């Protein structure tokens, strides 16, 4: 501050200013001094009056100020002490405060952005309205038409719409096929393989069979590439047919006199000269007799061999079968138009069709693969079957459809037609490395119905006999006491080990009280049925706890520890307590495994039966055990070296049995 003399404050470090002149006296000789001399002197303003003493703020003496400061310090200390004595803030309340604050902040931000978006939307709508109002009627129609066209194109490229050509849609274009139009309606069998090298099906199938080279070699051996010909010259399909063929390679069988099957081959022609040279190579020697079927010229050779160019296809084989094929082109013979073929996937690289007479002549009563196929077809009740092979990104898919006659089905019940449809759910109870999984729905009631309908022969007859013996010896009737308690779906699972794998049967939606009573009554007759092992009586059932579950077990043999447990409305029977532990413990399941997902992802959601094989784990189990010395398993592991898994779904009712199998390939 400056004092009354005008000096600056002490301690500032600057020199004291010179003695000031008297206030109001300008320096001599300056313009100010001269003007001041001329101008009359202004009167001094009167000093302001001081406010009365009553309104002046009284100054506190220094001692009072010091006391006030000490009092303030004391007050601060007391507040600190009071603060220290308060209980600490609850962290959860502090956390909630921070959380609620952030939520409110986020809400404010969203509201602000929403208001901003609404303002811009209204502005854009206004500009659009102005733009639209300024257009003429013709311009409006043109803009609307262009927008509709863009929307339609986008819809076609995304959604598989019926009637839209596959070239512009999202659906895969099927290989071109013209041979089916030459197959007569009374054909016993029709088999077709695509040679459309530009199709996706041909390319994918070729890639997959390259991965399965050993399987391709086996199929080549089963279906010989070298065939006998009427001329006696050997025929090699790869060498003598494929160079001039394109699009189609088909075989049809038609009924002949005396119960014979007459055959005709239908091959699309890409090189007419090559096809004619082929006919001269395979036909019997001697001059052919020329005949006409409509506009088709038919060459008939001795020995019943015939050949004709029908459209852009060559048909050759038994003369009568060739005549029928030519007759379909001329309109004299009805072509094959069975609805079963329409049930197959449109995009496929191979298909096979058999009529009911064809099933009786070619499949029924035959051993080997034909006998295994009957499970999925039911030869006694089927009116016809059709199968297709489809090449997908994941592997090879097989589709099989069997049309059933309801009246014949009553006399010959089909296993799958009696199974109810269900949505598999026990795959999350099986281990992620399961070797195999077989699932069916409503296990108990379905088995009761099948046993009641079946006769006294085969497996059904054996089961009925066993149940009758249990009823006599133990007073327990499984048909009326145990099976009805097993109301839900069932799954048979095989789990891998370092030694012998174990198998488990899982059934859900079980009346556990009724099932426990029935199973307890069955223990004694079961032990008697097991008999003795190495001269020692099989021990009694013993109880133990596994994963918090009570397990009843009996050591039936060196490798089978027969066990069962009831928990979570489930019944689990296993050849080892580890199977029950797997179900009770949970953890990583089969439903989460990549192999299971690849094999079953494209199968229907609801099925009558579901089968899964983990080929990687299965072949690994083979190499860890003595099964590697078994020729069957050894050959199987070589054939499917690049295949990872198999998924099979079967859907059955009193009209059809449909099967869909996928072989997943790396």
Residue with tokens 């303002």: 119
pLDDT at position 33 is: 39
Q: Indicate whether 64 belongs to any domain.
A: no
Max mean pLDDT among 63-72, 86-95, 473-482 falls in 473-482
Instruction: Assess whether 419 and 312 both reside in one domain.
Output: no
Residue scoring higher pLDDT (547 or 222): 547
Q: Is residue 320 very low, low, confident or very high in pLDDT (cuts 50, 70, 90)? A: very high
Provide the pLDDT for residue 465. Answer: 73
Residue where one domain finishes, among candidates 316, 334, 352: 334
In a domain, 375, yes or no: no
Region of residue 249 (phi > 0: left; psi between -120 and 50: alpha; otherwise: beta): beta
Residue 52 has pLDDT above 50, yes or no: no
On the question of pLDDT at 65 being above 60, the answer is no
**Sequence-distant (≥ 6) Cβ neighbours of residue 652 within 8 angstroms:** 414, 415, 416, 417, 418, 419, 608, 658
Identify the residue whose tokens are 């693969």.
369
Separation between Cα atoms, residue 633 and residue 338, nearest integer Å: 39
Same structural domain, 322 and 425: no
Backbone phi and psi for residue 148, each to the nearest 5 degrees, phi listed first: -65, -35
- The answer to whether residues 467 and 568 belong to one domain is yes
Residue 140 lies in a domain: no
Closest by CA position to 230, among listed 163, 122, 317, 158: 317
Assess whether pLDDT exceeds 70 at residue 164.
no
Residue 523 pLDDT: 85
Q: Are 306 and 435 contained in the same domain?
A: no
Percent of the chain with pLDDT over 90: 40
Which pLDDT tens digit goes with each residue over 616-649? 888 888 777 766 566 666 666 666 678 899 999 9
**Per-residue confidence (pLDDT) for residue 417, from 0 to 100:** 77
**517-540 mean pLDDT:** 72
Band of pLDDT at residue 583, cut at 50, 70 and 90 = very high
Residue 252: inside a domain, yes or no? yes
Which range, 105-109, 379-383, 608-612, is most confident? 608-612
pLDDT at 460: 57
The model's confidence at residue 119, banded by pLDDT at 50, 70 and 90, is confident
d(C-alpha 294, C-alpha 326), whole Å: 8
Which region holds residue 259: left if phi is over 0, alpha if psi is between -120 and 50, else beta? left
Task: Look at residues 301, 334, 367 and tell me which one is the last residue of a structural domain.
Answer: 334
Q: How confident is the model at residue 239 (pLDDT cuts 50, 70, 90)?
A: confident
Residue range 289-311: mean pLDDT, rounded = 93
Q: Which of 389, 426, 379 is nearest to 660 (CA)?
A: 389
Weakest mean pLDDT among 33-37, 250-254, 574-578: 33-37
pLDDT score, position 135: 72
More confident of the two residues 99 and 68:
99
415 or 457, which is more confident? 415
Q: Is residue 561 part of a domain?
A: yes
Task: Give every CB contact of residue 174 below 8 A, 6+ residues apart in sequence.
Answer: 166, 199, 201, 346, 347, 348
Asked if pLDDT for residue 81 goes beyond 60, the answer is no
6 burial class (0-12, 13-18, 19+ CB within 10 angstroms)? Answer: exposed
Higher pLDDT, 659 or 637: 659
Q: What is the pLDDT of residues 326-356, one digit of tens each?
A: 999 888 889 998 889 999 999 999 999 999 9
Residue 39's pLDDT band, with cuts at 50, 70 and 90, is very low
Q: Region 98-112: what's the mean pLDDT? A: 79
Q: Which pLDDT belongs to residue 528?
A: 75
pLDDT value of residue 238: 82
Q: Count up the domains in the chain and report the number.
A: 2
Q: Which residues contact 20 (CB under 8 A, 6 or more apart)?
A: 6
Q: Which string of DSSP letters, residue by residue, matches 434-452?
A: -SEEEEESSHHHHHHHHHH
Is the Cβ–Cβ distance between 325 and 169 less than 8 Å? no
Of 441, 443, 451, 436, nearest to 492 by C-alpha is 436
Quick check: helix, strand or coil at residue 223?
A: coil
Residue 422 shares a structural domain with residue 281: no
**Exposed, middle or buried, 186 (CB in 10 Å: 0-12/13-18/19+)?**
middle
Contacts of 385 (CB under 8 A, 6+ apart): 340, 353, 354, 359, 377, 400, 401, 402, 403
The last residue of a domain, from among 334, 355, 389: 334
Residue at 280 is within a domain: yes
Give a yes or no: residue 512 inside a domain.
Answer: yes
Structural domain boundaries enclosing 555: 414-655
User: What is the pLDDT confidence band of residue 84, given thresholds at 50, 70 and 90?
Assistant: very low
Q: Domain check: are 328 and 427 in the same one?
A: no
Name the least confident of 109-113, 413-417, 595-599: 413-417
* Whole-number average pLDDT of the chain: 78
| CA atoms of 205 and 23, how far apart (whole Å) | 116
Kindly report the CA angle at 387 between 335 and 238, in degrees rounded to 5? 85
Write the pLDDT tens digit of every residue in 369-406: 888 888 888 888 899 999 999 999 999 999 999 999 98
Is the same domain home to 426 and 280?
A: no
Q: What is the mean pLDDT of residues 233-258?
A: 88
Is the pLDDT at 32 greater than 50? The verdict is no
Establish if 663 belongs to a structural domain: no
Q: Is 526 in the same domain as 435?
A: yes
One domain, residues 462 and 609: yes
- In 270-394 the beta strands, taken as DSSP E runs, fall at 289-293, 296-300, 305-310, 313-318, 350-355, 382-391
Confidence of residue 507 (pLDDT cuts 50, 70, 90): very high
Mean pLDDT of 106-113: 81
Residue 30 has pLDDT above 50, yes or no: no
More confident residue, 85 or 205: 205
Angle at 583 between CA 581 and CA 585, to 5 degrees: 60
With cut-offs at 50, 70 and 90, classify the pLDDT of residue 50: very low
Q: DSSP assignment, residue 476?
A: -
Residue 628: the pLDDT is 55
Residues 312 and 448 in one domain: no
Query: Percent of the chain having pLDDT more than 70?
Result: 71
List the one residue out of 490, 405, 409 whose CA is nearest residue 445. Answer: 490
Same domain as 590, residue 446? yes
């Amino acid at each position: 501050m400056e004092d009354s003399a005008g000096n600056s404050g002490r301690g500032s470090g600057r020199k004291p200013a010179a003695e000031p002149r008297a206030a109001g006296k300008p320096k001599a000789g300056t313009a100010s001094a001269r003007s001041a001399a001329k101008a009359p002197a202004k009167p001094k303003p009167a000093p302001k009056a001081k406010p009365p003493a009553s309104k002046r703020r009284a100054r506190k003496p220094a001692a009072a100020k010091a006391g006030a400061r000490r009092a303030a310090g004391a007050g601060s200390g007391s507040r600190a002490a009071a603060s220290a004595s308060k209980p600490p803030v609850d962290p959860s309340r502090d956390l909630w405060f921070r959380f609620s604050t952030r939520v409110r902040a986020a809400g404010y931000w969203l509201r602000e952005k929403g208001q901003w978006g609404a303002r811009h939307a209204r502005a854009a709508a206004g500009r659009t309205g102005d733009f639209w109002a300024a257009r003429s009627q013709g311009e409006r129609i043109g803009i609307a038409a262009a927008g509709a066209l863009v929307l339609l194109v986008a819809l076609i490229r995304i959604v598989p719409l019926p009637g839209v050509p596959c070239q512009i849609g999202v659906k895969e274009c099927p290989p071109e096929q013209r041979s089916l139009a030459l197959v007569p309606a009374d054909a016993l069998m029709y088999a077709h393989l695509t040679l459309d090298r530009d199709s996706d099906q041909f390319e994918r199938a070729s890639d997959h069979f390259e991965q399965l080279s050993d399987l391709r070699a086996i199929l080549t051996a089963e279906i010989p590439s070298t065939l006998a010909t009427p001329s006696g010259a050997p025929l090699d399909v790869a060498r003598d047919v494929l160079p001039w063929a394109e699009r189609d390679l088909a075989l049809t069988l038609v009924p002949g006199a005396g119960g014979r099957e007459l055959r005709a081959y239908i091959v699309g022609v890409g090189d007419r000269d090559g096809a004619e040279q082929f006919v001269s190579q395979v036909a019997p020697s001697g001059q052919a007799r020329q005949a006409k079927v409509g506009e088709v010229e038919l060459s008939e050779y001795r020995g019943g061999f015939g050949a004709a160019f029908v459209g852009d296809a060559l048909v050759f084989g038994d003369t009568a079968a060739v005549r029928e094929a030519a007759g379909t082109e001329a309109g004299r013979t009805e072509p094959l138009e069975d609805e079963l073929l329409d049930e197959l996937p449109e995009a496929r690289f191979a298909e096979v069709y058999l009529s009911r007479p064809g099933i009786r002549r070619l499949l029924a009563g035959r051993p080997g693969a034909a006998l295994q196929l009957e499970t999925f077809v039911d030869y006694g009740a089927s009116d016809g079957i059709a199968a297709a092979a489809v090449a997908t990104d994941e592997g090879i898919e097989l589709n099989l459809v069997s049309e059933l006659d309801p009246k014949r089905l009553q006399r010959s019940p089909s296993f799958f037609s009696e199974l109810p449809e269900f949505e598999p759910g026990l795959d999350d109870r099986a281990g992620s490395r399961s070797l195999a999984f077989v699932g069916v729905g409503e296990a108990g009631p379905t088995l009761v119905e099948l046993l009641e309908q079946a006769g006294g022969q085969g497996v059904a007859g054996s089961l009925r006999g066993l149940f009758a013996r249990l009823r006599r010896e133990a007073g327990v009737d499984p048909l009326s006491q145990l099976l009805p308690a097993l109301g839900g779906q069932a799954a048979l699972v095989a789990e891998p080990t370092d030694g012998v794998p174990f198998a488990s049967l899982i059934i859900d939606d079980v009346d556990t009280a009724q099932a426990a009573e029935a199973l307890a009554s069955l223990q004694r007759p079961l032990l008697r049925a097991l008999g003795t092992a190495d001269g020692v009586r099989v021990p009694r059932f013993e109880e133990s706890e596994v994963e918090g579950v009570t397990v009843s077990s009996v050591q039936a043999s060196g490798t089978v520890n027969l066990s069962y447990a009831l928990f979570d409305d489930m019944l689990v029977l296993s050849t080892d307590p580890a199977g029950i532990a797997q179900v009770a413990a949970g953890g990583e399941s089969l439903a989460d495994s990549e192999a299971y997902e690849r094999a079953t992802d494209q199968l229907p959601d609801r099925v009558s039966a579901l089968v899964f094989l983990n080929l990687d784990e299965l072949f690994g189990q083979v190499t860890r055990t003595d099964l590697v010395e078994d020729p069957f398993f050894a050959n199987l592991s070589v054939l499917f070296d690049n295949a990872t898994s198999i998924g099979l779904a079967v859907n059955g009712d009193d009209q059809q049995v449909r099967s869909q199998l996928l072989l997943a390939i790396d």
